[in-house]
Amino acid sequence: MEAFQILVGSLLGDGGICYYRKNNSLSYMEEHSIKQKDYLLWKKDYFNELMSCNIYYRRKLIKAMNKSYDLIYIKGHNIKLLRKLRKLFYKNGVKKITPELLSIVDAQSIAILYMDDGHLEKNGCIEISTNSFSYKENLLLSKHMGKLFNIEVKIHSKSNRKYWRLRLNRENANSFLDKIKAFICNDCEDIVKKIWMRIYICGG
């Protein structure tokens, strides 16, 4: 069950299910900066309980900036499981948040979403980049998080109300972090900072 919830949270965040029309197959894909190698390897240990997984490395060149970045990614295969999850997560090939999907999202799934896409600000607030989802989808997710953690989760936009994010004020962020710390990957420095930096920001 723990591995499944980590997969669900990853699909809310940085993970995706790729469909290959040529051979009618599916694979799980997730990519990170090489700095988060330990985090992805931590996930892989759980994913191995559900799928056949392999780790790969590549270098991405951004010509406009004349810079290259080292990346790590995972591919997983379990056609039966991925078909089930794709039906829940995708509508017409696009990832969507629905009440049906949220029925399988628990506190651990949200903790994974935070580790994937969350940010702890210097003022102690939290922002989670859910900008790939619509306002209505973010509203569903914010209400679900509110019920799970007994906190207030607001929806925030930085650019003309086109891209939406979830935001927790300092008080709610502190309560949220207390409730997810048992699910945190403590092997990755970047992830640990998202939790324990609050000791310095919030005073405990």
pLDDT of residue 193: 66
Report the C-alpha gap between 158 and 72 in whole angstroms.
30
Report the C-alpha gap between 125 and 130 in whole angstroms.
16
Report the C-alpha gap between 194 and 184 in whole angstroms.
10
The mean pLDDT value for 159-185 works out to 89
Question: For 66-93, what is each residue's pLDDT tens digit?
Answer: 788 899 999 999 999 999 999 999 999 9
Question: For 42-54, what is each residue's pLDDT tens digit?
Answer: 999 999 999 999 9
Looking at the chain, which residues constitute the CATH 3.10.28.10 domain(s)? 2-91, 102-202
Residue 168: pLDDT over 60: yes
Quote the longest CA-to-CA distance of the chain.
55
CA distances in angstroms from 5 to 2, 10, 27, 65, 107, listed in the order given: 5, 8, 18, 38, 9
Single-letter code of the amino acid located at 141: L
> What share of the chain in percent tops pLDDT 90?
74
Question: For 88-110, what is each residue's pLDDT tens digit?
Answer: 999 999 999 999 999 999 999 99
What is the average pLDDT value for the chain, to the nearest integer?
90
CA distances in angstroms from 131 to 11, 41, 110, listed in the order given: 14, 26, 16
CATH architecture of the domain covering 2-91: Roll (3.10)
pLDDT of residue 67: 84
pLDDT-derived band at 200 (thresholds 50, 70, 90) equals: very low
pLDDT of residue 198: 47
Q: Give the gyration radius of the chain's Cα atoms.
A: 17
Report the number of secondary-structure helices (H) and strands (E) in the chain: 9, 10
Single-letter code of the amino acid located at 159: S
pLDDT-derived band at 202 (thresholds 50, 70, 90) equals: very low
Q: Give 142-182 as a DSSP string.
A: HHHHHHHHT---EEEEEETTTEEEEEE-HHHHHHHHHHHGG
The mean pLDDT value for 53-67 works out to 86
Pick among 3.10.28.10, 3.40.50.150, 3.40.50.620, 3.40.50.300: CATH of 102-202: 3.10.28.10
Residue 199: pLDDT over 60: no
5 in helix, strand or coil? helix
pLDDT of residue 180: 93
Question: Is the model's pTM score more than 0.85?
Answer: yes
